[in-house]
Structure 1
Amino acid sequence: MASIQYLILASAIVMLMLAHEGHAIRCFDCNSHTDVGCSDKAPPKDFEKDCSEHKNGPKYTFCRKITQIIEFSVNNLPPDTRTIRSCGYEVGNYPNKCYQRSGFGGRQEVCACDGDLCNGAVKIKATLGVLLAVLVAFIARV
């Protein structure tokens, strides 16, 4: 009898993990050129944004973080480093990855991720597979 209760509990936990709330993703939205705290490893809560607030245009489905490095004076602008965090809608060829681009006078690293506030500090995320493995091990032990 107890094993059926554990099976029901395990099924409920899996269903909750797979459930999607139906709301848009939340991302940090800021530019360190105008918002100094944007370049912090953990940006302030003031920069959190529900991406569904973008009423016009495409559906925003991921977060983006761009780090721009201007290595020397270009167009009368001094060398600088900027961090830009925003909602994104066209992930391209690099979902949940980073890539680098470079050009005359600078370079940038662009990272895309699809979890709430994932364009902030680095977080350790448990994957569904790990959670399921722990759940199976727990059930097998009982």
Structure 2
Amino acid sequence: MYCATIIKLKMANVHYLIAGSAIILLVLAQGGFAIKCYECNSHNDPRCAEKIPPGDLAKDCSDHKNGAKYSFCRKITQIIEFSVNGLPPDTRTIRSCGYEEGQYKNRCYQRSGFGGRQEVCACDTDTCNGAVTMKATFGVLLASLVVFIARA
């Protein structure tokens, strides 16, 4: 009788684990259909240069109607070091949806030229072109799942 009760409890834990995993997979898969990115330019809106931009600057990339398939977010930091063409030195942050993946997805690269330089970063989770990324949240979620399994 005691062993049967323990087996029933273990089976119930397995069912909870399966149901929880299915929910997590559905949530993660649903996010794969369209990506949401911050879209702004600090030249036009100084809030874009904040470490974490305000939520109203986040846009659903599928709202763009130009036919491109947006699959990642991009953040460009431009530094103009001295006056060029009558414009003063400046630093700008440009955040946008991206569709030409190339080799730099989930990576950053730097370019420089006469009078300035820029850093371009690309990432593939919602609003990852802000300071906080979904990868950290996913890591916490995964760690919680492992602890749940270990306790079962």
Q: Structure 1 length as normaliser, TM-score? A: 0.88
In the alignment, is residue 88 of structure 1 matched against residue 98 of structure 2? yes
Please give the root-mean-square deviation of Cα atoms over the aligned residues, in Å: 2.0
Q: Which has the larger radius of gyration?
A: 2
Identity %: 62
- 2:19 corresponds to which of 12, 25, 36: 12
- 2:132 corresponds to which of 122, 135, 138: 122
Task: Give the Cα separation in 1 of the matches to 2:121 and 2:39.
Answer: 14
* More helix, by proportion: 2
What is the identity, as a one-letter code, of the residue corresponding to 1:73? S
Which stretch of structure 1 is more off in the superposition, 34-43 or 2-11? 2-11
Q: Measured at CA, do residues 140 and 43 of structure 1 come closer, stay the same or move farther in structure 2, by a change above 3 Å?
A: closer
Displacement of 1:128 in angstroms is 6.1
**Larger RCO, structure (CA 8 Å, separation 6 or more):** 1
Displacement of 1:137 in angstroms is 3.9
Query: What are the ranges of 5 or more consecutive residues in structure 1 without an aligned counterpart?
Result: none
Query: What are the ranges of 5 or more consecutive residues in structure 2 without an aligned counterpart?
Result: 1-7
Q: Structure 2 length as normaliser, TM-score? A: 0.83
Number of paired residues? 141
1:1-142 to 2 correspondence within 5 Å? 1-19=8-26, 20-21=29-30, 23-123=33-133, 125-127=136-138, 131=142, 134-142=144-152
Segments ≥4 residues shifted beyond 6 Å: none
What is the identity, as a one-letter code, of the residue corresponding to 1:51? C
Q: Measured at CA, do residues 135 and 43 of structure 1 come closer, stay the same or move farther in structure 2, by a change above 3 Å?
A: closer
SS in 2 for 1:64: strand
